[in-house]
Amino acid sequence: MIEVKVGLGYDVHKFEKGRKLILGGVEIPYDKGLAGHSDADVLIHALIDAILGAAGLGDIGEHFPDTEIAYKDIDSSLLLKKVLAIIENKFRVNNVDCIIVAQRPKLSPYKEQIRIKLSELLKIEKKRINVKAKTEEGLGFTGRQEGIKAYVIVSLEELGVDIKK
């Protein structure tokens, strides 16, 4: 019998001039990026939290604190790879479902690129990844174009090896 674990991730970052906008490891053309200690890839941060949650290993801040200079401006894809190394041989990512919430920029043209990039990073088939882009119809901080948030749910298949933090 296959043991399946599910994790939910959430992250939010405000916009900041002078930074690149990176979502799911893909650079999106826009006049501002997201503020953060790392590259502020809100989607990968939510994905990391979902994976860590499903594995019972805490959250992104415990593993990669924003007080640590080593993570300053780091590519979040590298953080994801570190998390995947932690769960390697213990869990396999089964599937991923993502929601990116942003009034602007319009993300529909980039959803497929993001799926491809996440497929490469997670080393799973693209068909196991779903990316949705939503607006909040002008409501809240995302609706006012102050930032972006992301939700991710992940299912992991347990490979039968006990892991410790």
**What is the reported pLDDT for 160?**
73
- Taken in order of first residue, the domains within the chain and their CATH numbers are 4-158 (3.30.1330.50)
Residues of the chain short of pLDDT 50, as ranges, are 165
Q: Is 67 annotated as a binding residue?
A: yes
Strands 129-134 and 91-101: parallel
Q: Is 59 annotated as a binding residue?
A: yes
**What is the reported pLDDT for 34?**
97
Q: Is 65 annotated as a binding residue?
A: yes
Q: Is 13 annotated as a binding residue?
A: yes
Q: Is 64 annotated as a binding residue?
A: yes
Q: Is 144 annotated as a binding residue?
A: yes
Supply 133's token pair. Answer: 């882009």
CB of 61 closer than 8 Å to CB of 148: no
Closest CA to 131 of 101, 158, 98, 162: 98
Instruction: State pTM to two decimals.
Output: 0.94
Q: Is 105 annotated as a binding residue?
A: no
CB of 30 closer than 8 Å to CB of 21: yes
Q: Which long-range contacts (CB under 8 A, 24 or more apart) does 141-147 make?
A: 141/14, 142/101, 142/102, 142/103, 143/103, 144/103, 145/15, 145/103, 145/104, 146/14, 146/15, 147/12, 147/13, 147/14, 147/15, 147/34
Q: Is 37 annotated as a binding residue?
A: yes
Q: Is 63 annotated as a binding residue?
A: no
**What is the reported pLDDT for 51?**
98
CB of 71 closer than 8 Å to CB of 106: no
Q: Is 11 annotated as a binding residue?
A: yes
Q: Is 135 annotated as a binding residue?
A: no
Question: What is the Cα 17 distance to its own chain's centre?
Answer: 21
Q: Is 97 annotated as a binding residue?
A: no
CB of 54 closer than 8 Å to CB of 97: no
